[in-house]
Amino acid sequence: MTSATDRIIKLYKYESFLYFLLWTGAVLYSIYEVFLINSYFTNYDDLYGDFAPGWTWIGRKQDVSDEEWRIWVPLMIKLIPWLFLHHFISHFIKIISNSMLLCCWYILISLLFLYYCIGTFSMLCALMHPSILYILTYKHGKSIIWMINILFLFIIHFLKIPGGFFQNTLKLNDEEHYILTHILCWVQLRSISYSMDNIKSHLENKCDYILFFVQNLLYKLAYCLYLPTLSLGPLVLYQEFINSVKGSFQFLRPANLGNFLFNVIRYIFWILFANLFLHFLYFSAIQYHPEVIKDLNPWALYGLGYCMGQFFLIKYVVVYGLNHTLCAIDNVKAPPQPKCVARIHLYSDMWKYFDQGLYKFLIRIKY
C-alpha cells in the first residue's frame, strides 16, 4: 500500500513538473510574439511622445506611453529627501511621546512637499479638501456622510478633466494636474475611512467641544496627508494609523534597518527591470492602435494581455511595497505588496490579495 502511494506521489510530481514546463513555454512564446509586434514601430511617427531614446548601451527606444509609470517613478525620486526628513524628525518627536506634535509634523512636512512639488494653490487645495469634509460631516450620521462624500466624488471627477477649468485656473501642467487629482482621490478615500470610524465618538462627545474638534481635525489631517502614502497609497485604515500615532515609541532595531535596506534594493531592482523590458516589449504603446490589435494572432493577443497584467502588477509591487516599507519605520501597518496576478485563479480573490487595503476598507464600511 505504501509503495503504491509513493508511486502516485512521484507521478504527481512529474505531472506537475510537466505542467510547469508547458505553462512556462507557452508564456515565453506568447511574449516572443509580442516582441515581434515591435516591427510596427520601426518607422513610427511618434506624434504623442510614446517613446524615449532609452538607455544608450541597449541602443533601442523605450516605451514611455504608460502615464502612471512615467509620472510615478520621478515622483518617488522627488519624495526621497522629504521622506528622509519626515522620518528623521518623527523619530525625535516620538521620543517625547507627544501625539499632537507628531500629527502637526506629519501635516507640515506634507504641505511643504506639496508646495515644492505642485505649488501654493495646489497645496492649499489638498489641505482644504479634508478640512471641508471634516466640517461638513462632523456630528452627522452615516447617510449624510455618504451623501456629502458622493457629492465630493462627483466634484473630483470633473476636476480630473485634462485641460479643464480646474487645471487652467491653477495653471498646472499635465504632470502637476495628475499628481494633485491623484492626491485628492486618496484623500477622499481616507476621509471616508475617518468618518466611518468616528461617527459614534463625534455624536456622543460630551467633552470640551472646541478642544475635541481641533484635536480630531489634526488627527484627520495627519492621516489624510501622511507623506509615505499621500500620493501613491496604499490605503491604511484610520484606526490602524491612529494606533501607531498614539502607540508607545519603539527604537529602530538593526534587524529592521537591514530589512528596510534589503526591501529598498529589491524594489529598485523591479524599477530597473520594468524599464529594461520596456525597451523590448512595446505592449503599452500598442494598446493605442486598435487597428493593429484586431489583426494579431491568438498567441500575440494572449501575450499582450499577459504582459499588460504583469506590468500592472510590477507598478503596484514597487509603489505599495516601498510605501509599506516606509510606513513600517513609523510602526504604521500598511498593506503589503500585491500577490502576482498570474497566481490568482479566482477573480473573487483578485482585490482581496492585490489591494488588501481597499479590500479591508470595503469590508469595514459594509458593516
* Ranges of each domain in the chain: 13-68+255-335, 98-246
Q: In the 3-class helix/strand/coil scheme, how is 290-335 assigned residue by residue?
A: HHHHCCCCHHHHHHHHHHHHHHHHHHHHHHHHHHHHHHHHCCCCCC
344, amino acid identity: I
First vs last C-alpha separation in the chain = 52
Range list of β-strands (E), the chain: 51-52, 62-63
Query: What pLDDT does residue 6 have?
Result: 62
156, exposed or middle or buried, with CB in 10 Å at 0-12, 13-18, 19+? middle
How far is it, in rounded angstroms, from Cα 343 to Cα 252? 34
The residues that bridge with 62 in the sheet, in sequence order, are 52
Query: Which residue, 233, 226, 189, 190, is CA-closest to 322?
Result: 233
The residues that bridge with 63 in the sheet, in sequence order, are 51
Q: What cell does 64 get?
A: 514611455
Query: Which residue, 304, 268, 329, 278, is CA-closest to 66?
Result: 278
Query: What pLDDT does residue 280 have?
Result: 92
Query: What pLDDT does residue 9 have?
Result: 66
Total Cβ atoms within 10 A of residue 98: 12
> Cis link prior to 234 (omega < 30° from 0)?
yes
Q: Where are the alpha helices (DSSP H) in 138-173?
A: 142-159, 165-170
How far is it, in rounded angstroms, from Cα 122 to Cα 296? 44
Cα–Cα distance list, 364 to 142, 144, 196, 198, 316 (Å): 13, 18, 9, 13, 23
How far is it, in rounded angstroms, from Cα 282 to Cα 46? 13
Query: What pLDDT does residue 268 have?
Result: 94
Cα–Cα distance list, 93 to 20, 87, 200, 226 (Å): 52, 10, 30, 15
How far is it, in rounded angstroms, from Cα 187 to Cα 224? 5
Residue 132 backbone dihedrals phi, psi, to 5 degrees: -65, -40
Q: Is 256 helix (H, G, I), strand (E, B) or coil?
A: helix
How far is it, in rounded angstroms, from Cα 270 to Cα 268? 5
Q: Angle at the Cα of 308 (from 341 to 227), degrees rounded to 5?
A: 75
Q: Angle at the Cα of 17 (from 15 to 20), degrees rounded to 5?
A: 110
Q: Is 125 helix (H, G, I), strand (E, B) or coil?
A: helix
Using one digit for the tens of pLDDT, what is the confidence trace for 266-297?
999 999 999 999 999 998 888 888 888 888 89
pTM of the entire predicted model: 0.90
Query: What pLDDT does residue 164 have?
Result: 85
Contact criterion met (CB below 8 Å) for 316 and 354: yes
Query: Which residue, 37, 68, 21, 23, is CA-closest to 342?
Result: 23
Query: What pLDDT does residue 4 have?
Result: 59
Q: What is the DSSP letter of 248?
A: P
Instruction: Render each residue's pLDDT in the chain as its tens digit; 367 residues.
Output: 456 566 666 667 778 888 889 999 999 999 999 999 888 888 888 777 888 888 889 888 999 989 999 999 999 999 999 999 999 999 888 888 778 899 999 999 999 999 999 989 999 999 999 999 999 888 888 888 899 999 999 999 888 888 888 888 888 898 999 999 999 999 999 999 998 888 877 767 666 677 888 888 999 999 999 999 999 989 999 988 998 888 776 766 766 778 889 999 999 999 999 999 999 999 888 888 888 888 889 999 999 999 999 999 999 999 999 999 999 888 888 998 888 887 777 777 777 888 888 888 888 876 5
